[in-house]
Each structure stands twice: as C-alpha cells, then as structure tokens.
Structure 1
Amino acid sequence: MTPAAHPTPSPQHAPSQAAPSRLIPSQYTPSRHAPELRAAARHLGRRRFFTVTGAAAALAFATNLPTAGVAAAAELDAAKITENPFTLGVGSGDPLPGSVLLWTRLAPAPFQADSGLPQQRVTVQWELAHDAKFRRIARRGATDAHPEFHHTVHVEVGDLAPDRVYYYRFRTGSWISETGRTRTAPATAAGVADLTLAAVSCQAYHDGYFTAYGHLAEDDVDVVFHLGDYLYEYAVNSVGGARNYTDRTLPDLFNRETVTLEEYRLRYALYKSDPDLRAAHAAHPFVVTWDDHETENNYADDIPENDVPPEEFLLRRAAAYRAYWENQPLRRPQRPQGPDMQLYRRLRWGRLAQFDILDTRQYRTDQANGDGWKTPTPESEAESQTLPGLTQERWLTDGWQQSTALWNVIPQQVVFARRNNATAGNTTLSMDSWDGYPASRERLLAGAEAAGVENLMVLTGDVHVSYGFDIKRDFADQNSRTMGTEIVTTSISSGKDGAARPANWAGYLAANPHMKHYNGQRGYVTVALGQSAANVDFKTVGAVTTPGASITTAASFVTEVGEQGLKPA
C-alpha cells in the first residue's frame, strides 16, 4: 500500500479555508470554537495549569509533554527490568510496498499508572525475519521506548521487498516478546489477483469477551481494518461487567469514566490485556481509525456530548488522541499535535484496491436535532452540514479522480446508506450517521459519479449489528443506479450476545429494500476482493458473555465488478 501525499492541514484542519469547489458549498460555517482554543490546548502554560481544576489540570499537563526522541530522560539499564515488560503484546500496521510499522509497549505492571517503569528511556532491540524461527533476518535495529510516550515503541522499517510476509519480535534486557506476523503491500503498479481483508469494530470490554478476535487470529486474511470504538470510556467494575469474573478482581481505577491521560492509558492496558485481542494483533497487520468512544460518546469536532466547556473538552480530546496514537500501530504522520490528529489517509494494494480511510468524528458539524433518531429537518438537510469536514470531502473526491484501482474502498465509521426506521407511520433517521448529513453524502456520491468510480465499497462499524447495503445513487428511488455496496461489520462484543434476528428484523428489511442483510450477533466480516468479484462473509459467534464460543458464517454475498449490488453467494 502506497500512501498518497499526506494532506497538510491548517492548525485547525479548517474546512472553511479550503479552495472553492463545485462539489463543496461555500456557506459552510466553521465550529463555533475558534482556533485559539486549540492553540490553548497545545500550549497551555504553567500558570494556567495551576488555575484549571480537576481533570482539566491533568489534561493540560498531557498536552505539554516533551517530544520523544530528544533523549531528555536518563537511560534505564534494561537488565534491571525483572518482570516481563511485553505484557500487552505486539502489533503492526499500515503496510506499504517497502515498509512495515511495528508496535509494542513496555509494561511490566500494566495496571499501574507508571506501568512498573521509572521515568527513564529504555533501549529496545527489534528483529524482522523471513521466517518464524528468525533464521533469515531481513532487518534489525534498536530504538528507545520513551517515558514521554508511556514506553510505547513505533518502528518504521523500510527498504523491504513488496508483497512479502515477515515475522518480527522485540527484545530488551533478558526479555523477548512474542512473535508477530506482518506483511508489506504489493508494489503500487503491480497487478494483484486478490486480497482478503477483515473488518472489525466496537469492542466494549464490559460487554463480553473478545472471542471473535481469537477466531480472527486463525483466519487467513491479509490485513484487518478496525473501524472504531477500540475502547469505551465507560467505567468497568471489579468483575469486568458482563464478563463476570470469578477468578480475578479488576482494580478500582477502572471503575470510572476515562477523562485524563492516565485514565485513557490505563484503559488501553486493560483492553490489550485480553489474550484474543493480542493474538489478532500478532497475527495480522491492522489499519485503524477511530469513532467516538475512544474519546467520548457522540462528540462532534470540539462539541462534547454533555454541557462541558469547549476548552475543557479539547483538553480531554488531546489526552484521548495522544493515548490512541501511543497504543496503536500508527506511523509518524499520525502523531497528534495537542487536540488535533491527522488520521485520514490513503493506502493502496497494487492496482487492485485503493483504501481511503476516513475520520468522520474530528471535523464534523454538530448533529442537527440532537444525535438520536429524528425526523429530518431543514437543519439536518442543510448544505452546510458535513460529516467528514469539507477538506476531507474534497480530499476523498480528488483521490477518486486520480485513482487507477479496480476497487475503491472507504473504511470509515458510521452507516452510509439510508436507514428508514419506520415506526408508528413515521420515518426517522439517525442524526449521528450519514442520514443526519445527507448533503455531505450527496457531495460524495456526486464526486464518485464524476470520477467514474465503478466498484465502490464502504466498510462501516458503529452499530453493533451487521448489514449489507446496496448504495443507491438516490435512496428515495430504488430504481436509481446502484453505485456500490456497504458492508457493515457487527461489534466484537458491544451489545453483549445479540440475536441473529433482532425484534425489528422483518420491518427493517421491508422499510429498506436496499438492505440485503441484517444480523444482530457479534463477530466480524471478511471481504475477498478479486478481479471479477468480491466475496463477503459475515461471521458470528454464539455468545460473548461466556468465553470460547465457536464461530460460523451467518451469511455470504457476492458483488461483481462492473455490476454492483449484493447477491447471495
């Protein structure tokens, strides 16, 4: 996968400052909170630190940590680490034709705020090999795990062959990590026969076990797309919520909502302590994007869910974004600056597929009419409403103009297709999804049409059920052109066990003829992209409130090149 040049946003990533475009309305009103708030979150001074109270003070500190790599901290003799520091596993991400990104974190005591390490940098060796026994080393080197970034490690290994599988591991002192498996993407101009991806989302620890990840670790896929809600900000009690532990007791420090940098970091430690999640990361490279719960439920840009001052929320957002980057296999261009983080990016898999990974949370205008299910209003249908932000909209449509890929795939967060929720004779739509931003959706559909995109696929998470949609050019006219397909993966655990046919199953399908699949169980989805068709398998587990459930393929579909639309396989 070769990234296009990363867009260079303004300090606010300001959509309103973009050049005019026939697809983008000129009357967009930027967020009511000016750039000086973001500047304050980046540069909050010592005097302000001591005048802000409670959580905001801790967050202020979070935005002022020094840049890792300056070797400001003294070095710890790794021989003094007496407990295994690789408790949270290994991972890789964003594969490119000649490069892989390797991740780990040193945490001998992961449920302690300091992870059991002093505020000193630690030298970590890494190895990349052609074989799992490390007899044929491809590359090796050393890097520092800095306390400023909570002793996380991000190694960008270059000068590799394209389209190859590699194995990797880390070492510090006498300790060696588990072995991870990763791969490079094919060369940008390479003719590629096929690619199998998995899509996952929504893994509330307190709602159940990550059983689906254990099965995904054994599945034969090339890359995993995580579409958001990697963690949840809500409190986790001593028995792990629905996990109902009888053999362990979680510390009280998890039994509160995450607000501070320390709390977000600890929450990642809790999630990554799950063996199935660690196994999936070790088995496959991940491409990640966030939704809302990595920070706070249903926030929109700098507007929080509740009545919190915007400057305080931006500080919370800075802490959440920093912890996200620290704990995910992300490259250097994604490293956050205060409350801003460039997460949308473009990756390629030869000439077979272009992946435009979106961020539909950081730049959106506020949800009209609240963020629930509402009847559309002039406010929600206004041209000024945008879900990805106008700069990102233009980046996406411009990318389609330049694309030479057979498949154009959009990994993103919330449901793109129209979902009529017909109850008591009224049609209501979700104001938090693309239905709450129809003008934004129309601009993208017009952009895809203008670019001549023929095989469009949207990958979606968020809703804790799986859907399969035909993407209609006009959702009010079922006879309009089918422009592509939307594949919505269910949750890993959020929503607890679920049901194959939720109570509204029949009515929902009847109200939405373009909806071809609906299932309410937990699991994930795999998509095999080929030269003539894509094959889609919706995979589910029977339960997540008890561990060890088996997995089954609940439904399979195919969509053909040049003739979009889901058909039973």
Structure 2
Amino acid sequence: MTQIPSPTEELRAAARRLDRRRFLTVTGAAAALAFAVNLPNTASAAAPADGAALPTDPFTLGVASGDPLPDSVVLWTRLAPEPLAPDGGLPAEAVEVAWEIAADPAFDRIVAAGTATAHPEFQHSVRVEPAGLAPATTYYYRFRAGRWRSETGRTRTAPAPDARPAAVRFGLVSCQRYDQGFYTAYRHLAAEPDLDAVLHLGDYLYEYPVNATAGVRNTPVPAHLNRETHTLEDYRLRYALYHSDPDLRAAHAAHPFIVTWDDHEVDNNYAGAVSEQDVPAEEFLVRRAAAYRAYWENMPLRAPQLPDGPDLRLYRRLRYGRLAQLDILDTRQYRDDQAHGDGWQVPGEAAADPARTLLGAAQERWLADGWRDSTARWNLLPQQVTFARRRNRVEGPWPLSMDAWDGYPAARERLLTAAERAGVDNLVVCTGDVHVHYAFDLKADWDDPDSRTLGVELVTSSISSGGDGAERPANWAALTEANPHLRFYDGRRGYVVLTLDAEQLRADFRTVDAVSTPDAGVGTAASFVSRAGDPGLRAV
C-alpha cells in the first residue's frame, strides 16, 4: 500500500458529503443506513408488530451476550426466518420481541423481563442491557417473538468493583474463516466449565468470496455469497452465514463474549482509511462504514459502540473486581499505514519513525490513564496482532511483519514505557491474527534473553482459518531458535483457556485434531504459568 495519512476529520467529512448517486454507486441502497447516528433518528416510526404472524422460527441465528458489568450484561439476538436471504425473510417492518433473564435455566426465578423492538433498519437485530443484576452471578436468558421462542443462553456478570474473586477464567479465540474449516473448536469451548467470558480477538468473519460448496465444508450456499463484501448487505449476509453455524451458536449461548476486531471484518490488512487495494480514501471509508455498521448489528455490544458513519469507538475497559482489568484495544481504525508494504520486510527508516502509531494518540492516552488508575492484580490487553518481536530466520538481516507491532516499534516502546511508569507489574497481552499458538515473554531488550521480563503474551490459534495446520509448522525450528523469548509454538487450530488468581496466571493451549472434518477431538497441547510479580512463562 502507498503511504498516505491516517484517517482525518477531513476524510470523514468527505465520506459524509458523498452525493446520493455516488453513495449508491459505491455501496448499494441498503448501505445508506450505515451513516445513521442513533436509533431514534433511524428506527421505524410505525408501531411494531407482535410477531404473531411469523410463519417460521425467526431465531435461526441464536442468541449471545457480552461486555459484562457487575450489574448488567448485553443480551443479543437477530430475527431471520431465512438467514441467507438478503432481507432475512422478513418485511421492512418492526417486530416486538419479549425477553427475560432468570437465575435458573428453568426460568422459575425470573429477575427481569421486558420487550424490545427489532427494527428493519438494524436488520431486525435486538440488544437489551438489563440493569440491577447481582455481581459475579450466572444468569439465563431467552427471547420470544409471537409463538416462537429462542434457545436459552447462559451469561455471567462481572464481580463487584472492590471484590477480590478467587479466580476468573477466560477463553481466547480468533480467526474463523467459514469456508476453511468446521467450528469444532467452538463446540469444545462451549463445554468448557466456569468460563467468565470469551475474548474474541478479531477476524470474526472474512470478506473473501464463499464458493457454492462453502469450501471444505461441502455445504451448498447461495450464489450471492460468492463475492467479496463491500456493501452493507454483503456484510450482513456474511454475519448471517457465520452465525448460522451450530457450534458458534453453542459457544455464544454458553458464555458471554467480549469482542474486538482485526482487519477481515472490513478488508485484509487495512490501515485506518487505507485499503488493501489503495482505493480512494473517501470510497474506502464508505465501505468501512458499512462494515462497522454490520459489526455492531451482529455483536453483543452496548449502545455507546453504535457507529457514527465510518467511526466506531471500540476500545473500552472492563474490570473483574480487583483481580483483572481488561483494556480492549483497536489496532486497525487509527493506525498509520504499514511501512514498506504489508508483509515481512527488513525494517527501514519509515518503520522506525518515532511518530508512527498503531493505536492513535487518543487511544494511547486512554490506555496510559487507565493503567495509572488501575487497582487490578492483572492488567490484560485483548488486542489483535503479535506484540512481541518475531524473527523468521536465524541470521540477519531479519525481515519482520510490517502489519504487526514489529512494524511500529516506537509505538510498542511507548506502550511498554507507559506500563512501567504506571507500575503495571502483571501485564498480559492477549493476541489473535496469526493462526498459530504462541507463548512469549516480553523482554526489556529483545536482543538480550537475560534482560528483564516485562510481561507475557498469549497468542491463540485460529478456530478454522488456515485449515488443519500442523503441530510443528515448516518454520518451527527457525522461529524457536531465532526468538529465545518464544516459549511455545504450535500450528494447529484451537483456543486458549486463561485462568487468573491472586498468585498466578495459567494458560492452557487447546488444540483440535483437524478442522477439515466436523467431529475432531480436543486436547491440551501445553500449559504455562506466570507468577504475579515475577513475570515469565514456565511450562507445567
């Protein structure tokens, strides 16, 4: 990609100023709604129907919950009797949906209930944010439209702000390209006991065409999925395809999700307003607006994350008592364009520019301020791209990934300096993107294995992207020798279970035997611990 500035207010304004003919040419009529700012100004004015006339089950895409607070959690569903039809099988009319949340799976002890409106402007998606819930408590929820009732979801609130829970457990997942494998890992994740939440670290969907057999799944899908996503309709249909998977639905129903995105939710390796194809920035921001709108519609995100045109404030902070603070980052929307291209290159002066940013100045300040105020034992950074330095050969000169933090070394140094100044002793970076399991120690000096360890990085493999994978990829020996701070590397698909208590973290790297077949087993490839106050991964 050519080097152009990061998104600016001028570019955003240009996207909003597109005349109607230009706008519809770029995105299609449905995408005009991507520039809506808030629900009252865009939602249907007519009274919602009660759902009694729905002839078939509208809850084909399951239920989900997310972003737990001590007294609240987001509940989500979307009505779509025909999920892979452009309109979801529903007319452009609002539908009233009832919801209830209970303290038991039989719903004998209902603690809150009400109704919400599924608006056609939001593709009949529904989100509810019930308040007044008890902290650190498991709840069950469901929806109803007419005579149809959704499956039951399980969720859990966060501990009280000053609580010191004995432990919290998170699942780490990323990268789930539908046509490259079955979501068997999600079936196993759904069965993991006592997870407080699942951290989805990006690439929830892929923008690439899905062929008539859905790749290795050998399952017929409509022809209109066999194109790259550009319009709001395209992105909505891709989410519908992904949500229709029963294993993904099971994982969402079993655990609340805390989500962030990477690149494929919009366009491979995009950087701010710069697309992979170097289309004009104004045009790409229209595509980004459509993608961000569809993301918000299909994820269990709160109202403040509703996008404003091509902008969506996704970085946010969640706390699990005084045991863990989660600073969820966005490394795509505000970054400078990759230096020297998107791939692996020997860094030059452009990459070393101290002004270059991956997070943007506002997000960097927000993170540093949050660390200064943190009272948590563990500070987690759920984010997208590999943070630790990663060389791919033993002898120099060493190419590095320009799309990862290696392509933004000054930004990485600012982050580590901010953590040190804030007194962050137990830094845990949680990463996706690369379709392999990694475990890294974060070193004060990457060239000195004996230098101080500043924290750890846990990289989860993909759910399906990349196909079956291998326990030891072809570059296993080179990477492990060239990076002495790399403690573990496995190329199979799977997820990570992260357990935190006052004394240590434990990371269990789960792998599935294959994703090319739907019934693979799961095992633990490796487990590591890092002690509080004494960072560094040790095999167990």
- TM-score range (shorter-chain normalised) is over 0.9
User: Does the C-alpha gap of structure 1 residues 445 and 33 become closer, same or farther in structure 2, counting only changes over 3 Å?
Assistant: closer
> 1:86-97 alignment to 2 at 5 Å?
86-97=59-70
Equivalent position amino acid for 1:475 in 2: W
For residue 196 of structure 2, what is the aligned residue in structure 1? 222
- Alignment of 1:233 with 2:204, yes or no, is no
For residue 492 of structure 1, what is the aligned residue in structure 2? 463
Which ranges of 4 or more aligned residues in structure 1 deviate by more than 6 Å? none
Equivalent position amino acid for 2:468 in 1: D
Q: Deviations over 1:102-157 (max 9, x none)?
A: 00000001111111111111100000000000000010011111111010001001
For residue 360 of structure 2, what is the aligned residue in structure 1? 389
Q: CA RMSD in A?
A: 1.5
- The answer as to whether partners of 1:67 and 1:148 remain within 8 angstroms in 2 is no
Equivalent position amino acid for 1:103 in 2: W
- Alignment of 1:160 with 2:133, yes or no, is yes
Q: How far is 1:244 from its partner? A: 2.2
Equivalent position amino acid for 2:156 in 1: R
Q: How far is 1:43 from its partner? A: 5.4
For residue 200 of structure 1, what is the aligned residue in structure 2? 173
Q: How far is 1:30 from its partner? A: 9.2
Q: How far is 1:425 from its partner? A: 4.2
Between the aligned partners of 1:487 and 1:39, the Cα distance in structure 2 is 39
Equivalent position amino acid for 1:533 in 2: Q
Match 2:116 to one of 107, 119, 143: 143
Between the aligned partners of 2:263 and 2:448, the Cα distance in structure 1 is 32
Q: How far is 1:59 from its partner? A: 7.0
User: Does the C-alpha gap of structure 1 residues 289 and 64 become closer, same or farther in structure 2, counting only changes over 3 Å?
Assistant: closer
> 1:250-399 alignment to 2 at 5 Å?
250-399=221-370
* Other structure's SS at 1:421 match: coil
Q: How far is 1:518 from its partner? A: 0.1
For residue 87 of structure 2, what is the aligned residue in structure 1? 114
- Alignment of 1:123 with 2:96, yes or no, is yes
- Alignment of 1:418 with 2:389, yes or no, is yes
State the percentage of identical aligned residues. 60
User: Does the C-alpha gap of structure 1 residues 62 and 428 become closer, same or farther in structure 2, counting only changes over 3 Å?
Assistant: same
Q: Deviations over 1:70-123 (max 9, x none)?
A: 542453341110110000000000000001110000000111111111111110
User: Does the C-alpha gap of structure 1 residues 165 and 557 become closer, same or farther in structure 2, counting only changes over 3 Å?
Assistant: same
Between the aligned partners of 2:28 and 2:51, the Cα distance in structure 1 is 33
TM-score (norm 1): 0.92
Equivalent position amino acid for 1:140 in 2: A
- The answer as to whether partners of 1:122 and 1:146 remain within 8 angstroms in 2 is yes
* Other structure's SS at 1:78 match: coil
For residue 558 of structure 1, what is the aligned residue in structure 2? 529
For residue 100 of structure 1, what is the aligned residue in structure 2? 73
Between the aligned partners of 2:338 and 2:13, the Cα distance in structure 1 is 25
* Other structure's SS at 1:459 match: strand
User: Does the C-alpha gap of structure 1 residues 375 and 59 become closer, same or farther in structure 2, counting only changes over 3 Å?
Assistant: farther
For residue 517 of structure 1, what is the aligned residue in structure 2? 488
Between the aligned partners of 1:291 and 1:65, the Cα distance in structure 2 is 23
User: Does the C-alpha gap of structure 1 residues 99 and 375 become closer, same or farther in structure 2, counting only changes over 3 Å?
Assistant: same
- Alignment of 1:503 with 2:474, yes or no, is yes
- Alignment of 1:132 with 2:132, yes or no, is no
Between the aligned partners of 2:4 and 2:288, the Cα distance in structure 1 is 18
Question: Structure 1: 5+ residue runs without aligned partners?
Answer: 1-28
Between the aligned partners of 1:261 and 1:121, the Cα distance in structure 2 is 19
Between the aligned partners of 2:420 and 2:306, the Cα distance in structure 1 is 34
Equivalent position amino acid for 2:104 in 1: D
For residue 171 of structure 1, what is the aligned residue in structure 2? 144
- The answer as to whether partners of 1:59 and 1:315 remain within 8 angstroms in 2 is no
Q: How far is 1:508 from its partner? A: 0.7
Equivalent position amino acid for 2:158 in 1: A
Between the aligned partners of 1:269 and 1:199, the Cα distance in structure 2 is 22
Equivalent position amino acid for 1:343 in 2: L
- The answer as to whether partners of 1:41 and 1:318 remain within 8 angstroms in 2 is no
Q: Deviations over 1:441-489 (max 9, x none)?
A: 0001111111111111000000000100001112122222101100000
For residue 54 of structure 1, what is the aligned residue in structure 2? 25
Between the aligned partners of 1:184 and 1:34, the Cα distance in structure 2 is 37
- The answer as to whether partners of 1:538 and 1:555 remain within 8 angstroms in 2 is yes
User: Does the C-alpha gap of structure 1 residues 540 and 379 become closer, same or farther in structure 2, counting only changes over 3 Å?
Assistant: same
Q: Deviations over 1:170-211 (max 9, x none)?
A: 001000000000011110001111001110000000100000
Q: How far is 1:286 from its partner? A: 0.2
Between the aligned partners of 1:263 and 1:89, the Cα distance in structure 2 is 20
TM-score (norm 2): 0.97
